[in-house]
Amino acid sequence: MLARGRKERLIVAQTADPGEHRGGGRFARAWNWFKDQAPAIQSLVAIAALLVAILAIGAPTVAIVNGTNDSRTTTSTGPGSSTSAIGQSRSPYLETLPVSSSGIPPMTGLATVGGVNFAHSIYFNSINGFQPVSVSYNLDKHYRLFQTSFGLQNDPRETVVFEVFVNGRRVLNQEVGPGKAWPFSVDVSGAGTLKLQGTSTSNVLNGFSNRDLVTWGDAQLLGQ
């Protein structure tokens, strides 16, 4: 019986050991292969990380510059304005430009005309009694086109005459009532000055009209 037990244990050991050795051999070979390939794998990871860093540094920042796509890097200088890395935007809104002359400083920013919102607007109260209110800008021959949508905010009781002058020459003369924004554009190539003017048709001889807001919606100059 003792001899038989030792023989059975020997048989079990002999049948188990080869599989274990074979499994251990495969694991050992796989581990050795991985260790041999580790330097190459690390090199590939390092190269990939370097390429990602180069692309992140060298890629230009795509931004919206005053409503137009511009691939130049930009830096915000305040609400409604931006400046590129190579100089001032070539398509500025009038709200970002200095006023050369104005009897009444215009208000700027969001305005609603005829149910349409214009984020970059120039507007001011009209003066009753057929007295014009205007604002002027120096263009210095830097631009080729002026575009805007003009009209009246709120619920005006009177109509207003809108006028645009380029180098002193009148290029727009239109009487406007409530409820609509009128699109307008004009060639300003080679022009030195731009003047926007509004005149109330109210026959009241004094005071501002708080309801007749003369508005130039999204008034913008386009560059050469």
pLDDT at position 38 is: 66
Over the stretch 166-198, which tens digit does the pLDDT of each residue have? 999 999 999 998 888 999 999 999 999 999 999
pLDDT above 90 for 110: yes
Share of the chain above pLDDT 90, in %: 38
Among 33-47, 103-117, 180-194, the least confident range = 33-47
pLDDT at position 96 is: 93
Report which listed range, 74-83, 138-147, 175-184, 199-208, is most confident. 138-147
**Fold of the CATH domain 90-223:** Jelly Rolls (2.60.120)
Q: Indicate yes or no: pTM above 0.85.
A: no
**What are the structural domain ranges in the chain?**
1-54, 60-89, 90-223
pLDDT above 60 for 5: no
Over the stretch 67-103, which tens digit does the pLDDT of each residue have? 333 333 333 333 333 333 333 468 899 999 999 876 6
HEC letters along the chain: CHHHHHHHHHHHHHHHHHHHHHHHHHHHHHHHHHHHHHHHHHHHHHHHHHHHHHHHHHCCCCEEECCEEECCCEEEEECCEEEECCEECCCCEHHHCCCCEECCCCEEEEEEECCEEEEEEEEEEEECCCEEEEEEEECCCCEEEEEEEEEEECCCCCCEEEEEEECCEEEEEEEECCCCCEEEEEECCCCCEEEEEEEECCCCCCCEEEEEEEEEEEEEEEEC
